[in-house]
Structure 1
């Protein structure tokens, strides 16, 4: 068995991981737009009777929030582009479905590292959300949503990596039993 069979758990998990990667990228872009809208609202915030200094403070905070939103737009777009390229070239997830088991097993190691980094990034998002909530209370919900989907994506990717590694282990055992080569 050089390629994954249609009913293998690894193949199903690769498809699930691909879908999750796409959803995560799209969600990042959507939340990025929401963050920018919050920043724009803060800049235009001019309540009656508000002192000029406080209005200016809100505007400066709004500009900062918009910059944060633009950063997320950049990463979201980059993630989406990477996903599309990976489908064509087999860089990860969906693109790997076209590859032999040994190639998949080698390439998922990088995905495993990325998934672990995803948990660290999610923790940073939670901290950033709490910090941003001081100036824009709604921001914490957006940051927590980003953290939640990042964690979910990392969990799916780790399960996919485990399924692929198990599939490769079974393939190695089959080859050893068949005397194709010594492990």
Structure 2
């Protein structure tokens, strides 16, 4: 998993509430078990028309936001089913941070396991960041996980809370497998001792 430390760039505004996981990645794209390749279908039904042409008014189809790493959106983001393909699609598109007033619990936790930083903030602070994001390519926002700050294009600083363990995992690039492998020597030592003490097992 890629480490998350600091990102700076244009944030995409998506002022919609209750964006569910089927909107993030529709069910017909859930056949794969690979984490890559889903970015092209992120928000598929909002990004493309019936002929697979891009819908110009959709935010991620606008030139200013095609390479965004930060998404500012509405409350209850990631509700609906628990599909892990949703954070896979977000990450594969290139988005590393989602800022909203609230998140669905399962989606929130899945983000951390897939290298994405979800930040929950009071509505008034999200509104401020939404307005900043709406400035387009002239506005660059910085998210600093180490300092737990978001800096707007005007230099205003907003602090955010994050679970210390989840922060550590993101900054070190550790998913569940990585956490286990970090203890590989201890596991090998335990198995060797256990085999010596209980050879019949």
**TM range, smaller chain:** under 0.3
What TM-score, normalized to structure 2?
A: 0.24
Pick the structure with greater CA Rg: 1
Higher helix share: 1
